[in-house]
């Protein structure tokens, strides 16, 4: 990795940070420098579950000797802490999902009149999976049944989540064998909190096993439910072109940013900003128009569906305000730094909280309610417009931006590999079998001011594609790649290994597929499930040449995601110091016992080069076990001149069909 990297690997971000330092404006980067992590808490050795403590289990022989006042061992404390992280992450994704289900119900009952069912085909697909009759029935009746069926998943006490049956049979059998099939979402989270309270569950393996059950309630519950309902309401993503980085803000237009995670209000705002009357109003206040942009995962939601530009991920939120160009920023839930409210006072930016669940001291509050969504959206857009004349000249104005192609849902990935009638995962599986593609990595999770922010994502993305690994990215992993200019098909031509490049070129895709927000990690589960069903690789999720990596994670949500991937059979490697590092016993459970039981694992590794080596090792060993051809760098695509993207577009413009994946000469393999 480039050790010249400073606080951020993003040059524009770095410029803004420097501008801030010169103007005595503090950001998370300075705070991270000043506030070093507590090494005891960081490694999971601090117990705060009762008021006899906090007990800090440290010392040379802490593993064997240290005990809390109640007698809890280090392994108990570490696993309790880890389970609580999983529970919190699961709660966040799932409470978001609950709101999506409530919105779907309100739409179906005609109470949320500003929304409609946009993707009826997806509604029918979901109804079919849920065993709900849909043919010949009014769309809203089907939608109501789907919403109610999903809502059952939250309060169910017995049985299993609706979507457990979407997993490959063998994966389901492993879950049953080890008792981690999730029952109800709320039940698993509540039980996790109960078990980790003072004096209940003390056996590390037992605690962590429930951690996996709780995490599965996120991956195959909350997150998957949320992605599917969002598709039903607002459309299943397909590739769109957009832009990323701070240069998306316009000097002469009202800049409104939507930040957080929930897509509903943002969807209505997308609509409102193109209303001619509102644009006229903006003009009456001296602006040339209204420019909508996004931040974090709300950005990903509207980027995937409407091509709305993104200013980037988590660590860009303060920096965006420091451009001095944002007239208003709405924030809903999750990953919002409270610091932005105070920071905004140094500029003219209005910070507007919109969720019933989340307020920030110093911010304005305009509460969103799905029953009068448009009215709220109009109010917010007008607030941004009214604030435009207050824009001051100060700010670190930045103009760089990069093209981005996003919108790769499972449905579209299937479609792009065979068209409407032959949609399948065959070409991808074949490319993996032949060794053109070495394996698949899910590059996900946050960006983090404790490392050169976005730098680990960039390093790994570059190295992985150079080594013929296809990447599916989500959340701030996608934002990191987008703001580096990596989310374009041209990136395949310039930086991908020859085998991966050949496949990307034939299909016309980037080597990094932006599959959505953090809740859309569930799309990766269904993609790998479809690959298993297609045949030729593993017949369960475990055993695939696939790895999950979150090199800069910081949120409890990331831990829940890593745990549901591990339970589903995917080895996961997270960056940074290990939150279970204080206990060898717990580390062994996550990295060895889980592999034996579920074929997935959970590693923490701060060194990005070691993350890469471990990912290759998992992929190559999986290939070997599946008896696939040994991956040979440079074997494919090097011996002939490939058509570049420009030539390809010329041909497309002229209406001449180009080779699809089927056009790859299979005799090479
Ligand atoms: O949910 S990747 S910083 S924004 S937690 Fe948050 Fe992490 Fe970003 Fe989206 Ni996910």
CA–CA distance, 473 with 490 (Å, rounded to integer): 17
195 lines ligand 1 (CB under 6 A): no
| Ligand 1 centroid distance, CA of 106 (Å) | 28
What 3-state DSSP class applies to 515? Answer: strand
What number does the ligand 1 atom closest to the CA of 558 have? 5
557 lines ligand 1 (CB under 6 A): yes
Cβ atoms 13, 316 nearer than 8 A: yes
What number does the ligand 1 atom closest to the CA of 550 have? 2
Please choose, from the candidates 197, 289, 213, the residue with its C-alpha nearest in 3D space to the C-alpha of residue 250.
Answer: 289
What 3-state DSSP class applies to 546? Answer: strand
Task: Name the token pair of 6.
Answer: 């400073």
335 lines ligand 1 (CB under 6 A): yes
CA–CA distance, 78 with 587 (Å, rounded to integer): 10
Using CB atoms within 10 Å of the CB of residue 193, give its burial: 0 to 12 exposed, 13 to 18 middle, 19+ buried.
middle
Residue in 475, 520, 553 to alter for ligand 1 test, most ligand atoms within 8 A of Cβ: 475
Cβ atoms 355, 333 nearer than 8 A: yes
| Mean pLDDT per 10-residue segment, the chain (669 residues) | 74 93 95 95 98 95 94 98 98 98 98 97 98 97 98 96 98 98 98 98 98 98 98 97 96 97 98 98 98 97 97 97 97 98 96 98 97 97 97 80 96 87 87 96 97 96 97 97 92 88 89 97 97 96 98 98 98 98 98 98 98 98 97 76 50 44 31
DSSP-derived letter for residue 36 is: P
CA–CA distance, 256 with 250 (Å, rounded to integer): 10
Strand ranges across the sheet with 364-365: 290-295, 254-260, 328-331, 350-353, 364-365
Q: Which ranges of 156-290 does DSSP label H, i.e. alpha helix?
A: 169-177, 185-195, 204-217, 223-234, 264-272, 276-284
End-to-end CA distance of the chain: 33
What number does the ligand 1 atom closest to the CA of 519 have? 1
Q: Which residues pair with 548 in a beta bridge?
A: 442, 572
Task: Name the token pair of 408.
Answer: 């790769």
Cβ atoms 364, 336 nearer than 8 A: no
Cβ atoms 329, 257 nearer than 8 A: yes
12 lines ligand 1 (CB under 6 A): no
Residue nearest (by alpha carbon) to ligand 1 atom 9: 297
Q: Which ranges of 483-576 does DSSP label H, i.e. alpha helix?
A: 489-495, 498-507, 521-534, 556-568
Q: Which residues contact 294 (CB under 8 A, 6 or more apart)?
A: 257, 258, 259, 266, 300, 301, 302, 303, 308, 309, 310, 311
523 lines ligand 1 (CB under 6 A): no
Residue nearest (by alpha carbon) to ligand 1 atom 5: 555
174 lines ligand 1 (CB under 6 A): no
What 3-state DSSP class applies to 42? Answer: helix
pLDDT of residue 647: 52
What number does the ligand 1 atom closest to the CA of 555 have? 5
| Ligand 1 centroid distance, CA of 224 (Å) | 16
87 lines ligand 1 (CB under 6 A): no
Residue 309 φ/ψ, nearest 5 degrees:
-70, 155
Q: Which residues contact 599 (CB under 8 A, 6 or more apart)?
A: 174, 540, 541, 542, 543, 569, 571
pLDDT of residue 653: 56
pLDDT of residue 650: 54
299 lines ligand 1 (CB under 6 A): no
Residue in 312, 444, 558, 559 to alter for ligand 1 test, most ligand atoms within 8 A of Cβ: 558
Task: Name the token pair of 319.
Answer: 């920096």
pLDDT of residue 418: 80
476 lines ligand 1 (CB under 6 A): yes
Q: Provide long-range contacts, Cβ within 8 A and 24+ apart, for 621-626.
A: 622/439, 622/538, 622/543, 622/544, 622/545, 622/546, 623/435, 623/438, 623/439, 623/545, 625/543, 626/537, 626/538, 626/543, 626/545
Place of tokens 């992590």: 37
Residue nearest (by alpha carbon) to ligand 1 atom 4: 296
pTM listed for this prediction: 0.94
What number does the ligand 1 atom closest to the CA of 296 have? 4
Task: Name the token pair of 262.
Answer: 């929930």
558 lines ligand 1 (CB under 6 A): yes
What number does the ligand 1 atom closest to the CA of 445 have? 2
Cβ atoms 661, 506 nearer than 8 A: yes
Residue in 313, 315, 340, 480 to alter for ligand 1 test, most ligand atoms within 8 A of Cβ: 313
Residue nearest (by alpha carbon) to ligand 1 atom 6: 335
296 lines ligand 1 (CB under 6 A): yes
What number does the ligand 1 atom closest to the CA of 477 have? 2
Residue nearest (by alpha carbon) to ligand 1 atom 3: 446
CA–CA distance, 589 with 625 (Å, rounded to integer): 22
| Ligand 1 centroid distance, CA of 101 (Å) | 21
555 lines ligand 1 (CB under 6 A): yes
Residue 619 CA to its chain's centroid (Å): 22
Strand duo 328-331 + 439-443: pairing = unpaired
| Ligand 1 centroid distance, CA of 230 (Å) | 18
| Ligand 1 centroid distance, CA of 258 (Å) | 14
H/E element holding 105?
helix 74-108
pLDDT of residue 661: 32
449 lines ligand 1 (CB under 6 A): no
CA–CA distance, 315 with 336 (Å, rounded to integer): 10
């Amino acid at each position: 990795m480039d050790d010249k990297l400073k606080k951020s690997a993003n040059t524009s971000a770095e410029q803004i940070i420097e501008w801030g330092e010169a103007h005595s404006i503090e950001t998370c980067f300075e705070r991270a420098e000043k506030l070093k992590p507590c090494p005891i808490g960081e490694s999971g050795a601090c117990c705060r579950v009762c008021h006899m403590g906090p007990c800090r289990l440290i010392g040379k022989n802490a593993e064997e000797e240290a005990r809390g006042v109640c007698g809890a061992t280090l392994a108990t404390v570490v696993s309790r802490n880890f389970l609580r992280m999983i529970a919190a992450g699961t709660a966040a994704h799932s409470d978001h999902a609950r709101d999506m289900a409530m919105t779907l119900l309100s739409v179906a009952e005609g109470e949320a009149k500003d929304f409609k069912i946009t993707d009826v085909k997806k509604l029918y697909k979901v109804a079919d999976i849920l065993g709900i009759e849909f043919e010949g029935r009014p769309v809203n009746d089907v939608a109501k049944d789907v919403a109610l069926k999903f809502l059952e998943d939250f309060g169910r006490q017995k049985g299993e989540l609706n979507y457990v049956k979407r997993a490959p049979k063998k994966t389901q059998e492993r879950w049953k064998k080890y008792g981690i099939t999730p029952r109800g979402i709320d039940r698993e989270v509540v039980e996790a909190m109960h078990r980790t309270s003072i004096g209940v569950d003390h056996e590390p393996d037992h605690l962590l096993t429930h951690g996996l059950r709780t995490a599965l309630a996120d991956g195959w519950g909350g997150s998957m439910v949320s992605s599917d309902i969002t598709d039903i309401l607002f459309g299943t993503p397909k590739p769109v072109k957009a832009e990323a980085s701070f240069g998306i803000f316009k000097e002469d237009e009202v800049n409104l940013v939507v930040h957080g995670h929930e897509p509903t209000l943002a969807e209505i705002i997308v609509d409102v900003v193109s209303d001619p009357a509102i644009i006229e109003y903006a003009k009456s206040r001296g602006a040339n128009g209204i420019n909508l942009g996004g931040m974090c995962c709300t950005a990903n939601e509207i980027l995937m569906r409407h091509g709305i530009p993104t200013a980037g991920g988590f660590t860009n939120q303060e920096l965006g305000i420091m451009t001095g160009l944002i007239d208003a920023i709405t924030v809903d839930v999750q990953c919002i730094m409270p610091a932005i409210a105070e920071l905004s006072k140094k500029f003219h930016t209005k910070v507007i909280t919109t969720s019933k669940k989340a307020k920030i001291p110093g911010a304005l509050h305009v509460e969103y309610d799905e029953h009068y969504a448009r009215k709220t959206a109009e109010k917010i857009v007008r607030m941004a417009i009214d604030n435009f004349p207050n824009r001051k000249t100060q700010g670190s104005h930045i103009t760089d931006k990069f093209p981005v192609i996003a919108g790769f849902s499972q449905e579209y990935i299937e479609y792009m590999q065979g068209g409407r009638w032959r949609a399948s995962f065959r070409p991808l599986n074949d490319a993996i079998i032949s060794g053109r593609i070495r394996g698949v990595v899910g590059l996900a999770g946050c960006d983090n001011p404790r490392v050169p922010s976005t730098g680990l994502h960039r390093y790994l993305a570059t190295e992985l594609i150079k080594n013929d690994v296809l990447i599916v990215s989500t959340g701030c992993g996608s934002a990191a790649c987008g703001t580096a200019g990596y989310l374009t098909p041209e990136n395949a031509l310039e930086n991908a290994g020859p085998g991966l490049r050949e496949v990307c070129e034939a299909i016309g895709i980037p080597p990094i597929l932006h599959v959505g927000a953090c809740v859309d990690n569930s799309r990766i589960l269904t993609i790998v499930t479809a690959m298993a069903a297609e045949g030729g690789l593993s017949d369960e999720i475990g055993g695939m040449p696939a790895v999950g990596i979150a090199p800069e994670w910081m949120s409890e949500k990331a831990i829940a995601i890593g745990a549901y991937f591990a339970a589903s059979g995917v080895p996961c490697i997270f960056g940074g110091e290990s939150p279970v590092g204080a206990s060898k016993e717990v580390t062994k459970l996550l990295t060895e016992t889980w592999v034996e039981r579920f074929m997935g694992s959970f590693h923490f590794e701060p060194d990005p080069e070691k993350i890469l080596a471990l990912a290759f090792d998992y992929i190559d060993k999986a290939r070997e076990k599946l008896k696939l051809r040994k991956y040979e760098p440079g074997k494919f695509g090097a011996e002939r001149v490939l058509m570049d993207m420009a030539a390809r577009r010329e041909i497309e413009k002229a209406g001449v069909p180009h080779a699809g994946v089927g056009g790859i000469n299979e005799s090479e393999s």
